[in-house]
Amino acid sequence: MDKTPQSKVIQKILRDKRLRVENRDVMMYLARYKGMSADHDEWLLEKDIQDSAILLRKFRSEKRSNPVGGGIGGPWHV
């Protein structure tokens, strides 16, 4: 399979955030791509995440087991 920018594969969902767009709440998810550094992480809508059910189930499970998140040692700590 040819690896083009259009065929990036998401390795993991790192964070989520809720935005208000046109008077409605929209969830965005920070995605890490396989084989790519954090410089390429990208905020995506759920509809734009391939295999979203599997990835989001895993993300939510990890979020429940580690509710603090975001601190030193968290997946997005630099």
Determine if the pTM surpasses 0.75.
Answer: no
Per domain, the residue ranges of the chain are 5-52
Contact between 55 and 12 under an 8 Å Cβ cutoff? The reply is: yes
Average pLDDT value for residue range 19-47: 95
Residue 51 tokens, joined: 């295999």
Architecture of domain 5-52: Beta Barrel (2.40)
Distance CA 25, CA 52 (A): 18
- Using one digit for the tens of pLDDT, what is the confidence trace for 5-17? 557 899 999 999 9
Gap between the terminal Cα atoms of the chain: 32
Residue 61 tokens, joined: 């499970």
Distance CA 33, CA 57 (A): 17
pLDDT at position 2 is 45
